[in-house]
Structure formats: structure tokens, C-alpha cells
Structure 1
């Protein structure tokens, strides 16, 4: 019943999850009418922001918004300015949901959702998890995510975990000693499913493989494993299924948007067409036919507080040829991957740990445009960043303290301000890279 209380808390905070669930049920439109429904929703959201959002109005200029393919594509750089300048009329920081992206692609920014849009995200998560046998009213989650280490931030997440019926494991320490403690928790707690960062969960599976242990034997209540935030490679999926003894479900999402695609019970990566419109485009922004690889561009159909219209999320992918307007499937995704950091003490940490370390430089001012972190030696880390102004002494000290707090003492951190950063052939930045032989 804890999630029921959590839902009630969301309702009291102004996030109408119950109404959002009703809307999703009402949207069970038949296939032959769905394309027209999507066209209507696309036109509504672009028309709304072209009138009610001054920043978006300036962005599109004199574009003829009645021609969808003419509407310019937004990138993360378009959002690297104070959030207050990007909100639509009638919205302020006091009446929206605010969060920040992880910066896993190297382009961090703050974003906002109106409260109904955020409620839709929760309703969608409950629906998609439910289709895979996860009951948010009852199922107990083993959570492999990061968590702030400051008292207030840590307490807030722990309270959310309690009301969301989940137990959180650290991704900041993936040493054998810690993973042994994780295994002991599975032996005494009746977890229903695992959810969290791909790389961290894979490290746990590798530990189990080394010990020749199948997790289902230790925790018989375990039903499935849902991985998110990073790419899941086929060999790692096989490892997870072997060592956990349960099915592995692949989730693809973005905090600023919603669930983008979620593996259905048939093993297909089904795209969320209820709240999003997903396109694949070439380098020039031309829409590609299903079956061809290109940039993933997404429109949030319900977010009135902040426009995400034809937004290039920074990933590459292919939509399956059999896709329709309503039933769209992701055939291939070339998305976010992060290395594992191995430290002088032997401790290991997930690459997404560096989101928590560097969040102090992800400012709402938009000063830091891009950043990447490289581990050049076992005790050496280099932070390369692009900014309007150089990081000041207090910011440098803050990051150095965070490195000690989240990782360990004695690490050397070097800061390099750059005019631009080196990108992959697909145009992506990898937030953390280790050059140390594992």
C-alpha cells in the first residue's frame, strides 16, 4: 500500500496521477484513427508554444508551423539558458516540476514539466511496468541508482524510496566487498524486481558469475530485471539472464521527456506513442523511412510549461519497418554508454556516479555548456568543459570535495576549459571515459 500513499502525496502536491491514468485509458484509439490523433496533438502543442512561449516563438521565427517537417529541430544547446527564460506564459518555478538532466551525453540543463505532464509520466510508468507483471501497489524493487550524499538530498530520496516500496543499493561502490553485502540483502529481502543503471547491474551479475551463484536461487521472489539509463549489449543481457535467472527488460527513457521505449512481453521494444511523437531524421533533419538509421527526434505532446518539440535527444536509432502510428517499435538504439571507474583502492564506481559529482557545475545560469570526464590514470581524472566563464575557485573546490566524498581520497583532478569538445562520429559526447585497463 506504500505506493498508494506515494500516489496520494503526488496528488496533494498537485500532480494529478489519477486523472492522467484516466486520460491514458481514454486514449485507447483504434489503429486506423491513430495517425489522425497524433497529427492533431502535434499541431496543438506546436501552436500552443508558438503563442504562449516567447523563447520558442523567437526560436521558430517566421517558420510556417503548419508544415511539420519545416519546424526546426531543437537540441540540448537551445536549453542552456536560465529556465525562467524558457517557461511558457502562466508558468513559473513555483507551479511546475523542475529537474535536471543527468548530463550523460555531456550537455546538461535544467528543464520543467507542467504538473499534469509529470503526472502522465508516472501514469505511463505504472502502465508499462504493469504490462510486465510489476504491480506498483505491491512489488518490492531492488534499486541500483545514484543518490545524493548530502543530508537533505539523501533523506529526501530515502523517504521517496520508502513510499515507493523500494530498497536502494549504491552505485558509487561496486567492489566485491560491497557486492557481497548486496547479495546478503537479496537473501533476506523478498525483492520482486531489479531496476537501475545498466552498468551497475552488469557488475553485480559479473560478481555472481565469479561466485557461480544464480540470484533467483537466493531470492526466489525475484520476477524480472529492468535496466535503464545506459546501453544494454546483447552479451550483457545474456549474462544478466543467466546469473539472475529471470527475464531482462530494456527501458529507454529521458528524464526531461518520459519513457521513450519499453520492452513489451513479446520482447519487442515498443515506443511510447501515448505521450510522445518519435521521428528518425538524417544529418540535415530530413525524416527517414522506417528501417533507416538516423538521429532520434522527439516531441512531448503534453508539456505546456516547456517546449520539447522536434527535440534531438542525442541518440541514434532505427524504427522497425513494421511500425505503425500507434504500434511503433525501436529496432536499434545507439545510445548512452558509460565506463566503470576503477580506483587505487580497488573500489569500482558506475560512470553515472560523475553526474552526482559534477552536478555542482550544472547551473541554471547555463554557464557550463558541455563537459566530459576522462580517467587517464588510476588516480588521475581530467574534466574538460566548454563554458562562457572559467570555473571559479569555489566551484573547483566543490568538485574536488565531491570526488573525495563519492569516490575516495587522494585522487588528482585536472580541469581544462576548451573551445569545443571532441565528439563521436554520431555527434555524441560520452560523459565518462576510462583509459585505465580494467
Structure 2
């Protein structure tokens, strides 16, 4: 339970800030906290009602969709089920780039320019309106409350996006201090920087850590090597997002901070799609988001089958995302969660399509097939694998104290067994691994898959 000041922030200060920003966040969050317990059928009925109103508004105010609906003879008035969305084509990053102005609603409110980091190809520039910001903040707020963490509880955010880091002016710093939030930049993770992060975390004693799993697990690993305790800080939960959460990262973070790790799935472009509850399920924010899973031919798959995640965000009428191809791979769940929430579940989030690699014979496999080769070699402290082409894969290795010359041969032979004997494996020993421009870290990057995603 929050302390007295935390309750003041969540009940008075933060609601006042949101009203001044013309955000209806408190009402939306309260509605979500009610609807999460509804039966699945009632949630689906709400979703359909919102979808129909959304499509009607988009048809009236957004030039791109007005023309698209006419071209496909699609009338939102006749929408009777979520499946009716399948009459519309997918929205891709290329289509957004080619139709940026036409996607803006004529009655848009509070549009701000955003972009993705470009980790899967060319950065995507798009716009977000006041309504979507409100709903995304409400969705995150609801999810953190599942873990007994509220607005106003001390929080440390470990992040790398220049959008947040670039807005740390005096007003923002004062606001963060009042809200008891501290933002730490994840771009540079040298020992000196990490020691400073740990000092800040120990000083703040946050109720929640929020950020990239790679960055937080790196901090945890450094603390373990240096014999620094993190389990005495009273952290209630570590909330991770924006990257794939690997099992070894979850184990290390949970063990060293002595708290659960909650996964969050979403993106700057697609919104906050799903959050993990204490029972372990990734619940979709179904009040705002319709999720479809499609195969390589664009056919919609039933729950239980793996495919690309496609999102329609119902709070994006200012700059609509309708049937947006995320480039991520996942599976819709078939079972209700033991927590009792009626929200649908993503049973698996397997990573980005560009986290998959392609062997010389054309076989597609998840990057984990290569990751396990490196993780089984004790002398490898950390690594990054870049599939440059079908014939060349570069492996960046930070050698640990146990690294021996023969480890290079083990890496080469292990990757050749998976990618093919004809593939050149170029092992480079480095002191620091190259990160993505966004500050995120990816163990595996396939340039082949990136090229395919960029053309989608």
C-alpha cells in the first residue's frame, strides 16, 4: 500500500496534472479497472461498440481511410463483429510513410510527432493525439496497480529513448521529483555508469523499477559480481518492456532484487498492447486494442497458432492505426487466466520477426537457436549476433576471465551446425557491445529479416 504522500500524488496531484493537460486519464483508468473483471463476452461487446464508433469517426475525418473504405466498399455502419475488420487491408510501415499527411484526422487534438527507433529497418515517423496518450497512460497505470504499485510511489525508469531523455528540462525534472520518478539513461552501461545507477537506486529505494530487461539485468549482474545487495531495497516489482524478456534475464532480476518481474508488451507505434498479471498471464488491453494473428500469407489464424501480431488501436482516431502489422510474432491464448480477469491473453510473445534467422538452406529459426550456443560457453561474458547475409554472420564477443582461444572455434562450429557449413562465422572480440540507436539491446539481429520487414 502506498504511503501518505503517494496517496496524495495518485488522488490529487496526478489527477490535477492530467486535467491541466486536458487528459481524461483518471476516468479511463477507473473504467478499465471495472471492465477488466467483466465476462469475456461483455468485454467483446464493449470492444465491438468502440470499434464501430471508431471506424465511423475515421471515415468522416481521415482522408486516407475515407478513400480506402470507398475503394473496398466498406461501410462501418454494417460492422457486426470484429471479424468484419478482415475486409480491410493491413496497414504497414511503408503505407504510413507514403501517406503521412492523409492519415491525420481533420479534427485531430494534440497531435505530437513521434518515431520508432528503427531497430527493424528505417525509422517510422507518425503522430499521436491526446486520446491515445490518455488511454496508454491509463492502461499502464491499471497494470502497475495489479502489482500494488501506484502513481506517486517511488519509481526508477531505466530508458534509452531520446524522446523521454530529450525532454528533461527544468519543468520536467520538477514534475518527476513531485511524482517521485527518476529517469536514468540506458545508452551507456559502463561500470562507472552502472555503479552510479545502483547508487541512485539504493538512495531512492523505489517501489518499482521500469525499463529495458537487458539494461536492468545488466545492472543486476554487475551488482552480483561486485557483491552489492539489491534484495534489501523493498522493490515490489520490476516492470520490463520494449524488448524480448529472456528466461535468464527474468531469473537474474528476480533473484537479485528479490521481487517478481512483470513483462509488458507494446511499442511507441502500436501502444501498450498487453501486461502481465501476478498470475502470469499477458492480458491484452482489449478495451482499446484489437489483436489479430496472421500467417505469412496474411490469413487470420485462430488462438493457439503462432503468427505476426496485427493491432487495431481504438484510441487513435486522430492518427489511426487499423490492422497495423507490428512485425512481432506471438500466439493468442486459448485459456482464461486464473486471476479471474476477462481480458484476453497473449500466451506467447516470441519476439520480432527480425529476431528470427535464416539458415543457408532457407530454414527459418528463432534467434534463440544461436543464443544458446554462446550461453553454453563459460568464457563468453556477453555477445551479440548479427546475420549480415545468408553467407555471413558476425558475432561480437566480450570475453570473460575464463575465455580461451578454443572458444572462438566452438562459436564457429556451433553456429555452422545451425546455419550451414558454408556460412562464414566472423567472431570479433570487443570491449563493449554495439547497442541499437534507441539504446535497446538485441542479442540477435538478422539483416535479412530486417530487409524483408522494411519492404512490408
Give the TM-score range, shorter chain.
0.7 to 0.9
Is the alpha carbon distance of 1:316 and 1:8 closer, same or farther for their aligned partners in structure 2, counting shifts above 3 Å?
same
Unaligned 5+ segments in structure 1 are: 358-372, 377-420, 430-438
Structure 2 runs not aligned, ≥5 long: 1-7, 356-366, 368-382, 385-395, 399-427
Residue in 2 aligned with 1:158?
Answer: 173
- Following superposition, the deviation at residue 142 of structure 1 comes to 1.5
* CA–CA separation in structure 2 for the residues paired with 1:284 and 1:234: 31
| 8 Å contact from structure 1 (residues 141, 193) kept in 2 | yes
Match of 1:329 in 2: 345
- Contact kept? 2:282, 2:345, Cα under 8 Å: yes
* Alignment: residue pair count: 364
Q: Which digits, 9 at most, give the CA deviation of each residue in 1:162-217, with x for residues without a partner?
A: 34421122212211222222222233322111111121112112212222444113
Paired position in structure 2 for 1:86: 103
TM-score (norm 1): 0.73
**Distance in 2 of aligned mates of 1:142 and 1:318:** 31
Asked if 1 retains the 8 angstrom alpha-carbon contact of 2:231 and 2:257, the reply is yes
Say if 1:290 and 1:323, in contact at 8 Å, map to a contact too.
no
How many Å separate the matches in 1 of 2:444 and 2:247? 26
Contact 2:186 2:439 in 1 (8 A): no
1:293 aligns with 2:317: no
Whole-Å separation in 2 of the counterparts to 1:229 and 1:118: 17
1:61–1:103 Cα change, 3 Å: farther
Contact 1:117 1:303 in 2 (8 A): yes
Which residue in the other structure is 1:399 paired with? none
SS in 2 for 1:231: coil
CA deviation after TM superposition for structure 1 residue 293, in Å? 0.3
CA RMSD for the aligned pairs?
A: 3.6
Does residue 118 in structure 1 map to residue 137 in structure 2? no
Classify 1:184/1:90 alpha carbon distance in 2 versus 1 (closer, same or farther; 3 Å). Answer: closer
Q: Deviations over 1:305-342 (max 9, x none)?
A: 01111111110001112159943111211225797799
Residue 435 of structure 2 is matched in structure 1 by 351
Is the CA contact 2:254–2:260 (under 8 Å) kept in the aligned structure 1? Answer: yes
Distance (Å, rounded) in 2 between the aligned partners of 1:272 and 1:197: 21
Alignment-derived partner of residue 407 in structure 1: none
Residue 82 of structure 1, CA deviation? 6.8
- Matched residue, 2:154: 140
| Contact 1:253 1:261 (C-alpha < 8 Å) held by counterparts | yes
State the alpha-carbon separation in 1 of the partners of residues 43 and 9 from structure 2: 36
2-side partners of 1:149 and 1:309: how far apart? Answer: 24
CA apart distance, 1:97: 4.1
State yes or no: 1:223 paired with 2:236.
yes
On the 8 A contact 1:77/1:107 being kept in 2, the answer is no
What is the 5 A alignment of 1:12-411? 12-25=20-33, 27=35, 29-65=38-74, 66=79, 67-81=84-98, 83-91=100-108, 95-137=110-152, 139-146=153-160, 148=162, 153-155=167-169, 158-217=173-232, 219=233, 221-322=234-335, 326-336=342-352, 348=432, 351-352=435-436, 354-355=437-438
Cα distance in 1 for partners of 2:149, 2:19 equals: 22
TM-score by length of 2: 0.70
C-alpha spacing 1:306/1:190, structure 2 compared with 1 (3 Å): same
Q: Which has the larger radius of gyration?
A: 2
CA 112–147 in structure 1, closer or farther in 2 if over 3 Å, else same:
closer
Q: Give the Å deviation of 1:103.
A: 2.5
Cα distance per residue 1:119-142 (max 9 Å; x no partner): 1211121111101111113x1111
Quick one: distance in 2 between partners of 1:101 and 1:51?
28
Residue of structure 2 equivalent to 1:423: 449
Preserved CA contact (<8 Å) 2:305 2:332: yes
In the superposition, relative to structure 1, how do residues 98 and 16 fare at CA in structure 2: closer, same or farther (>3 Å)?
farther
Structure-2 residue corresponding to 1:9: 17
Q: Do 1:6 and 1:163's aligned partners in 2 also have CA atoms closer than 8 Å?
A: no
What is the distance in 2 between the residues matched to 1:299 and 1:135? 28
Query: In the TM superposition, what is the alpha-carbon distance from 1:25 to its structure 2 partner?
Result: 4.9
User: In structure 2, how many angstroms separate the alpha carbons of the residues matched to 1:97 and 1:330?
Assistant: 29
1:48 Cα deviation from its structure 2 partner: 2.4
> What's the secondary structure of 1:422's corresponding residue?
helix
